[in-house]
Structure 1
Amino acid sequence: MGANGGHLYTVEVRPSRHDPGRFTWAIRDRGKLVRGSYRPHASEGAARAVALAEVDRLIGHDEPQNDG
């Protein structure tokens, strides 16, 4: 399956629809929404950094646990 459990995560960062000048993010797996931001971020870079950290957490949950 690969290092991420066969998932193909993509990160989308977009301007907020409700809060001009701020940005939201979404994480998708083969086009299906997996996670999204609940609050807008002050910059595109800040939104992307939070999204990428969340992808790292998702990948960590996909890795098999080593019990020994």
Structure 2
Amino acid sequence: MGANDGHLYTVEVRPSRHDPGRYTWAIRDRGKLVRGSYRPHASEHVARAVALAEVERLIGHDGRSGEA
């Protein structure tokens, strides 16, 4: 398959339900939750940056699965 093994990751950043003024993130693959933040982040920007870094880790992990 392609560089990301067919995954279609999307990142959702939302205001925290429990901590007003803070943000959480979720990573989905075709709508199915793959990872989510365990703690809220100080800003939407920080939450998105953390989520995108996690997507990069997921893609890197998937890309190495076929290597020796």
Q: With structure 2 as the length reference, what TM-score do the two structures score?
A: 0.93
4+ residue runs of structure 1 moved beyond 6 angstroms?
none
1:17: how far off?
0.2
RMSD: 1.0
Question: Structure 2: which 5+ residue stretches go unaligned?
Answer: none
Aligned to 1:38: 38
Task: Please report the TM-score for the alignment, with normalisation by the length of structure 1.
Answer: 0.93
User: Quick one: percent identity of the two aligned structures?
Assistant: 85
For these two proteins, the number of residue pairs brought into alignment is: 67
For structure 1, which runs of at least 5 residues remain unmatched after alignment? none
Q: Deviations over 1:11-61 (max 9, x none)?
A: 000000000000000000000000000000000000000000000000001
Which secondary structure does the structure 2 equivalent of 1:20 belong to?
coil
